[in-house]
Structure 1
Amino acid sequence: MTDEQIPDPAVQIAGAQEIAPDLLVIPNQRVQLVPNIGIIGGTQAVLVVETGIGVSNAEQVLALASEVAAGRRLYLTTTHFHPEHAFGAQVFADRATYLVNRAQADDLKTKGPGYLEMFRGFGGAIADRLDGVRVPTPDEVYDGGYDLDLGGRTVRLRPTGRGHTRGDQVVEVPDAGVLFTGDLAETGQFAIFPWFPPYDTDVSGVGWLAVLDRLAAAGPRVVVPGHGDLGGPQVLADVRDYLRELRDETWRRRDSAMGEDALVAEVRALLIERHPEWAGREWIERGVGCLCAEHGG
């Protein structure tokens, strides 16, 4: 990853769309390291989902959320600890209550500093965005699930268990049929496996697949993926089907005692042939490595 490969990860709040009454999404416009961001309102409070990477992005998000809230109380949550999702939360201090699940809070504390250093190491616009950023500390941490009453609208915060990270959570808006998945689902690209042994091996292809089976069965009306275009239940089905392909093709070759280099090359070529339009081909190898480690476990 280099600055030449990734444009400035700037959140564009001018593109905010109302996808249900009092429910806005700031789409990522398919810019890398920009998440889809949600602003969900009730009669008494407003919840922001994701911050964007760095202070200036988060300041724009907070300004829009404050305008939408018009005096209503503000909450913030993030779907997982990765920098483009959570590393702007310091801007919301004293303005909003930052609420996350226990495993995500643990990830922020134990992995956050390393990820901040790693992302700053990419240089260029990414490092500039992270100037002055501190790893955030949540105001409130919950165990199990959490039902947040915004006034006339309850938003469900639900940890999923290991998938894309150890601390993933999804955000459900039942009355609108909307589901924010974070990076458990993305459109237009191969699933991102943060498989970096020996430093970070918490991603689980097996767990991820089980999570998507459960989410797809619930049949949300609108799926807001971590990155990429919004869609319906098919977004979840497409990622689930890809993970199943990746698992099956990897394990089939693992069972044959094929050498690792040949295994990776074959699976990579096969999946690119099946999904030639998808971006992020570099993540196929990481996914194969993860699933090889989980083989027979």
Structure 2
Amino acid sequence: MEIPDPAVRTDGAQEIAPDLLVLPNQRVDLVPNIGIIGGTDAVLVVETGIGTANAEHVLAFASEVANGRRMYLTTTHFHPEHAFGAQVFAGQATYLVNRAQAADLAGKGPGYLEMFRGLGESVARRLDGVRIPSPDVVYDGGYDLDLGGRIVRLRPTGRAHTRGDQVVEVPDAGVLFTGDLAETGQFAIFPWFPPHDTDVSGVGWLAVMENLAATKPRVVVPGHGDIGGPEVLAGVRDYLRELRDETWLRRDSAMAEAEIVAEVRAVLTDRHPEWSGQEWIERGVGCLCTESTEEPGSSVRSPRAPG
């Protein structure tokens, strides 16, 4: 099935707090929710959309919002619809990411560029001329970005959806951008593609979501889907627990993986019949079948509660 053109639209921009806008993805596949966060001196853009044309659209809109203020760009992780437009911002904004994400961009970016080009003509067209971006600033541990009267906290989470996930917190507004650590209206996206990419960790992801849910932000902007409140984080946490428990129950009874997938899919689609992305259940089962209770490398840095 051909994927619809993943075009970012700016006509539906939502102001979710003073000087804080979201360009909602309007439930279009491969379009992320994009943030524009302002302070008195500078503006931070969160995500680019997939490809240069989308990024040019986002940059033009953000430049109007900035109205002469300095501009920054960050991305929540390296996947193409989130970061593969960053080249457009070169010379216009300072691009900063956490170290693990920078390593993902350099090490896995070229492979993902080719993989996404194979998803259909509309996606391939969007990726024409794309170069893997190179960040201007790479940070360790965490980064507090002062926009002038507003501090934005960039916090890596450790291995979860990818090795390089980071969340973006706006404490004065109680807003949290999660990237693909959280979605609404769909099953969690597990990029489990052995042997090419097996960095996603269901155990690590669940630990991240438990910590994030405890912070109870006022507004949660997921990677894809509708903006919500703390229930978004709790919902993803609860689903990941279900996926883990249903998978491990069957794995520990020595069932074959194909049988585990079939049974877990039946259970979870029955519980969440309205959700899209059922194909990700199989990927999640495959990932969790390889993991232990304490998965090495899944350490989590918990962000502070907003406020």
Q: TM-score range by the shorter chain?
A: over 0.9
Q: What are the residue-to-residue correspondences of 1:164-175 with 2, within 5 Å? A: 164-175=161-172
Which among 123, 127, 130 is matched to residue 126 of structure 1?
Answer: 123
- Specify the code of the residue in structure 2 equivalent to 1:207: G
Query: Is it true that 1:221 corresponds to 2:218 in the alignment?
Result: yes
- Specify the code of the residue in structure 2 equivalent to 1:255: D
Query: Is it true that 1:13 corresponds to 2:10 in the alignment?
Result: yes
Q: Deviations over 1:242-281 (max 9, x none)?
A: 0000000000111111111111100011000000000000
Partner in structure 2 of residue 188 of structure 1: 185
Which among 237, 241, 259 is matched to residue 238 of structure 2?
Answer: 241
Which deviates more from structure 2 when the two are superposed, residues 24-33 or residues 114-123?
114-123
- Cα distance change on mapping 1:168 and 1:160 into 2, 3 Å: same
- Return the alpha-carbon distance in structure 1 between the equivalents of residues 94 and 85 of structure 2: 14
Query: Is it true that 1:28 corresponds to 2:22 in the alignment?
Result: no
Report deviation, 1:122.
Answer: 1.6
What SS does the corresponding residue of 1:117 show, helix, strand or coil? helix
- Return the alpha-carbon distance in structure 2 between the equivalents of residues 260 and 119 of structure 1: 27
Q: What are the residue-to-residue correspondences of 1:242-261 with 2, within 5 Å? A: 242-261=239-258
Report deviation, 1:123.
Answer: 2.5
User: Which consecutive residues of structure 1, in runs of 5 or more, have no partner in the other structure?
Assistant: none
What SS does the corresponding residue of 2:290 show, helix, strand or coil? helix
Report deviation, 1:295.
Answer: 3.4
- Specify the code of the residue in structure 1 equivalent to 2:62: A
Under a length normalisation based on structure 1, what TM-score does the superposition of the two structures give?
0.98
- Specify the code of the residue in structure 2 equivalent to 1:66: S
Partner in structure 2 of residue 60 of structure 1: 57
- Return the alpha-carbon distance in structure 1 between the equivalents of residues 110 and 126 of structure 2: 16
Contact 1:251–1:295 under 8 Å retained in 2: no
User: Which consecutive residues of structure 2, in runs of 5 or more, have no partner in the other structure?
Assistant: 296-307
Contact 1:164–1:204 under 8 Å retained in 2: yes
- Return the alpha-carbon distance in structure 1 between the equivalents of residues 206 and 120 of structure 2: 34
Report deviation, 1:235.
Answer: 0.2
Count the aligned residue pairs.
Answer: 294
| Identity, % of aligned positions | 83
- Specify the code of the residue in structure 1 equivalent to 2:175: V
- Return the alpha-carbon distance in structure 1 between the equivalents of residues 256 and 42 of structure 2: 55
Q: Deviations over 1:66-109 (max 9, x none)?
A: 00001000000000000000000000000000000000000000
- Specify the code of the residue in structure 1 equivalent to 2:194: P
- Return the alpha-carbon distance in structure 2 between the equivalents of residues 235 and 202 of structure 1: 24
Report deviation, 1:121.
Answer: 1.4
- Return the alpha-carbon distance in structure 2 between the equivalents of residues 249 and 122 of structure 1: 31
Under a length normalisation based on structure 2, what TM-score does the superposition of the two structures give?
0.95
Partner in structure 1 of residue 194 of structure 2: 197
